[in-house]
Amino acid sequence: MIFMAGILFSCINDIDTIQKVTYDPTAPDEVTKDLEVFYNDSGAAQIRIQAKLAETFTHPQRITKLKDGIKVDFFTSSGKIVSTLTALYGEVNFETGKMFVQDSVQLKNHEKDQILETEQLFWNQKDSTVYTYKNVVVRTPKDILYGRGIRSKHTLSQDKFQFFEPYGEINVSKE
SS3 content of the chain, % helix, strand, coil (to 5): 10, 60, 30
Spatial separation of the C-alpha atoms in residues 108 and 125, rounded to whole Å: 17
Residue range of the domain that includes 95: 27-167
Instruction: Name every residue whose Cβ is closer than 8 Å to that of residue 13 and which is 6 or more positions away in sequence.
Output: none
Give how many domains the chain has, as a whole number.
Answer: 1
Whether residue 54 lies inside any domain: the answer is yes
Percent residues over pLDDT 90 in the chain? 51
Whether residue 11 lies inside any domain: the answer is no
Spatial separation of the C-alpha atoms in residues 161 and 159, rounded to whole Å: 6
Tell me the pLDDT tens digit for each residue of 32-54: 999 999 888 776 678 899 999 99
CATH code where residue 84 lies: 2.60.450.10
Whether residue 32 lies inside any domain: the answer is yes
Greater confidence (132 vs 8) lies with 132
Q: How confident is the model at residue 17 (pLDDT cuts 50, 70, 90)?
A: low
Whether residue 155 lies inside any domain: the answer is yes
| Confidence (pTM) | 0.81
Whether residue 88 lies inside any domain: the answer is yes
